[in-house]
Structure formats: C-alpha cells, structure tokens
Structure 1
Amino acid sequence: MSPLQAGVATLPAAAGIVVTAPLITRFVDRLGARTVIASGFAVATAAFVVFAFVDSSWKYATFVVPLVVLAVGLGLALLVGRIRPIGPPTAVHYAAAAAASSHTVPTRPTNGGPKGDRHGG
C-alpha cells in the first residue's frame, strides 16, 4: 500500500470525527459531559475489541466500519473538553483559550540573520 493509498484509506475515520464534533455540545447539554465521555470510551472500546480479531483475510470494507466507530467514540470521549469547556468559566479556561489561540506558524530560518534568529534578523 502506498502512502497515498494509506491516507485515503483513513479518510473515513477523519469523517467520523468531523461528523461527531458538531454534535458534541448537543449531547453534553442533554446527557452531561461525564455520560458523553464514558459513552465515547465505551464505543471506542467496542471498536478495539473488533480490531482484536482482525485477520489478514479481512477486506477493506470490513475493516472500515470499526475504524469509523473508533473515530466516533474517540471523538465523543476526547473532544468534549476541547469543544465545550466543562464547568463554569475560570482562569484555567481563559488561559487554555489564550494558549490555543496564540500558536504561531513556524517560519523557516534564513541564512541572513544572526544564529538563532528564526526570522532572519
């Protein structure tokens, strides 16, 4: 399998997370964060149990279903705190938001600047 084929083969997993992410706030409002996280881990565990029985005779169509289920489960379990902070806003939430928004795109060093200067002086 080429790198391109492997990347295309995992696209359904990405789609599972993309579909799950916008629904998380609704699930948390209706069920609570703990229930959503626990359910997500339960769904992911079920997918891992299926993966324990993977055989080389499996076709891709058989393998992709538990792959998507795993992505949905991990999306539910791991994205709850990222999409919607749990609890009332505190300094920790504001600090996390500031840290998340302050990431910069790394630049390529140039030869023109002093040693260690990332922007070329």
Structure 2
Amino acid sequence: MKIFAKRLKERASQLGISNSQAARLCDLDERRYSNYANDQREPDLMTLAKIARVLDTSVDHLLGLTDDKPTDRRSLLIERLTVSATSLPEDQLETVVMQTEALAIPRPKKPGKKSPPISGV
C-alpha cells in the first residue's frame, strides 16, 4: 500500500511536522508509525481512522481513493495550527487562543498611509 505511506508523509509535510511528531500526536509508538510511513506495515481500521482524524484528513485520501483539492498557504497554516493545538494541554491551549485573539485585533492605520478608495461612491 505504497500510496498510504506516500500520503502519510505528504500530509505530515503539509502540516510542517515530522513523522515522530505525527506519531506522538496520534498517540502511537514512533517505530510503529514509521513502519506505516515506510510502507512496511499497514494499520488496522481503528488506527487508520485515528491517524486520519488527528492529521485532519480523510481515510479515503490516505488510501488514495480521493484526491484533496490543492489548498492555499493560509488554509495550510490554519490546518497546521489546528493539528498542533490538539496536542496541547488545556492551559497551554488557552494561552495560544488568547495570543491568537490578541493578534487578530484590528490595529489602527499608521499615519501617512492612505486608505484604499471606496468604490461605488
């Protein structure tokens, strides 16, 4: 099942994580996960479903039954943030949420910068 190993590696790469990080996120032994990623073993159905859920993809995609649409950089970054957040303890997750919310607050425009013209006026 070479397609599974290939897609497993691709998905980890898209998320910006190593195979060992993916193994930890999936709560699997690194050696066991490495066997999947190197096409040496195949996971059972429950493990396959868990890997797909943790890596925020579908079982069908991992098995090569469907192709995911290419995603833009922003979508990939959001996916990376989501997957990383799942492994954080609640107190750290709360800190990340507060930091993210603080970054999302609109900032006043810097003096001297012109606002774009409003069309239709």
TM beyond 0.5: no
Bigger fraction of residues in helix: 1
Q: TM-score, normalised by structure 2?
A: 0.28
Q: TM-score, normalised by structure 1?
A: 0.28
Which structure would you say has the larger Rg? Answer: 1
